[in-house]
Structures are given as C-alpha cells and as structure tokens.
Amino acid sequence: MVRYMQVGDFYLFRKNTKRRRQDTDKILMDLSFDDGAYRGIKDAFPKANIAPKGSKGIYQNCKPRQSLCLISLKYGTIANERIIFRTKLGEHVNLSLNCRGNLVLTTAPVRLQLSVSNDDDDDVGEVALVNMREPESEVRSPTYRAVCEGLILRLKPKEISIDKEPVKIEDKAGYLSWVPGNVTFDTGNTVGTAISNKLVGSLDLKPDNTKKKKVTIPGGTILQCRTVPIKIIIRGQKFNVNALVGAVAPPTDLLIGMDVMQKLGDKDLLVS
C-alpha cells in the first residue's frame, strides 16, 4: 500500500507504507460514514445538481471541496457503459462508468450483488467511487460533471468463463451430465446456440430431419442446419434451446450463443 497527496488535479506518490494489500472485505469493514464514506451525493457534494430520475448525470458549477468520494449504494445496475444506482439517501443516480473491470458484455441490465441494503444500517456496505471532474474545455458549462470511476463490492458480479465454464446437458433419457467435450461462449455469435454432430450422437438426441434452418456463420459461409431441442444448465439456471446441429468448428462441441447469454445477463451472470 502507498500514500499519495493531491496537488491540484494531480496525485503524487509520497511513500510506500510497506503494509500488505487489503482484500475487499477488509477495506469495506474499515469504512465508516464518519470517516471516508458518504450516504449519498448530497453528503459528499452539497452543491451538486442531480438529474431527475430517468435522466442522466450530476453536475455543479463550483469547485467541490474534494473531487473523489466513496458513495454508499442501496442498489444498482450496470448497462451500456453506465451505472444506475440509488444511494442510502434515496437519490437516484445515472452516471457514466469509467472502470472497464466493472463493465458487462451484454446490453441487458445486470443488477449488482449487494450485501447491505438497509437504509438504517450503519454499515457502509458497497460503494461507488464518484469523481466530480473538471472538464478539459474551459468554455464548457457546467464546470464540473460526475463520473463513476469504479466500484468496491463484497459480492462480485458472477463471471462466466468463455472457454472453461462447466455446463450440464440432458440426454435423450432425461439424465443430466457435464458436457463430454469442449464448451465455448461466443459473444459474437448472434445466430444461435449450436451443437456438434458428435455430441448429438453421444447423447442419443434426435434432430428434426424435416426442418432445416439457413444460417450464415462468420466468414460468410451459408449452412442448412437441422435443429434439435436441448436442455442445458449453467450456474443452476436451466435453458431450453433449439440448437443448430453441426454449426460449430472443431474442437468445440457446444457453442453458446447470445440467445442464451442474453438471458444469463438478465440473471446477473456475466461472461468474461
């Protein structure tokens, strides 16, 4: 851990404290509303103007007493590189989210997993780091606009591995087992979830030979694919999908498309 000091718009290194890096739980446990954290925007930035619910942004025309503040969260969602949250003062806030580590791979709103949601609780809980920035252009008005630089959360949004996530699938007899092959989550696949002929055979599934779906896969290749209904389970969530048979490239056996990942996003499960 290091100490720094603020000089104007810059932060200068002072010294290394030689203390161990603290984990998230320790950091949040040490926060209090009397020292370092705020229940809401108006506590942190008394001169700020908060856009009405349904609108975006926070601004103020005078220099804040401090530009960076930790704001306690009541609840929040992330979508489209923005965070919408409610503070413990009941303020509804919609800010640009500037931390890539907290962004999501879906346009569907992903609700934050917060451990504290009681307005009367003295526990600070999870916080957003809000920065009241001075704009680069001197002629811009209002002078200062807020952005969310990041989040400190006890319970991280659930992350799904693109190529290491275990997935269960149901065979013809109705038994569930881990997919006996390679599973890939493809955020660029808007065509649909697909399954290899090999996996269809091993599960004894029966595709519909009378109906075929014409699909265009990356590279421009057009395929006439049979479909087969499959049941898969990801992180305890069950999905019924009409999978495209054969529309996968080796060594993938099950290709999860955006048809499923969009629903995962709705259930607060993220792909990374």
d(C-alpha 32, C-alpha 26), whole Å:
12
Look at domain 167-268 and name its CATH class: mainly beta
Q: How confident is the model at residue 166 (pLDDT cuts 50, 70, 90)?
A: confident
Q: Residue 214, SS3?
A: strand
Q: Are strands 182-185 and 252-256 parallel, antiparallel or unpaired?
A: parallel
Whether the predicted pLDDT of 101 surpasses 70: no
In which region does residue 40 sit, left (phi positive, over 0), alpha (psi from -120 to 50) or beta (all else)? Answer: beta
pLDDT of residue 22: 55
Residue pair 201/228 in contact by the 8 Å Cβ criterion: no
Q: pTM for this structure? A: 0.52
Domain layout of the chain by residue ranges: 4-152, 167-268
Whether the predicted pLDDT of 60 surpasses 80: yes
Residue pair 113/64 in contact by the 8 Å Cβ criterion: no
Whether the predicted pLDDT of 241 surpasses 80: yes
**Tens digit of each residue's pLDDT (9 = 90 or more) over 213-231:** 888 776 677 888 999 999 9
Q: Are strands 144-152 and 92-96 parallel, antiparallel or unpaired?
A: unpaired
**Tens digit of each residue's pLDDT (9 = 90 or more) over 196-212:** 999 999 999 999 888 78
Half-sphere exposure of residue 54: CA atoms within 13 angstroms, side-chain side: 0
pLDDT of residue 214: 85
Distances (CA, A) of 100 to 24, 81, 113, 153, 176: 18, 9, 18, 15, 36
Neighbours of 221 (CB within 10 A): 9
Residue pair 171/242 in contact by the 8 Å Cβ criterion: no
**Tens digit of each residue's pLDDT (9 = 90 or more) over 105-127:** 556 677 675 664 445 567 788 89
Distances (CA, A) of 220 to 141, 178, 194, 258, 261: 48, 32, 17, 18, 23
Q: How confident is the model at residue 47 (pLDDT cuts 50, 70, 90)?
A: very high
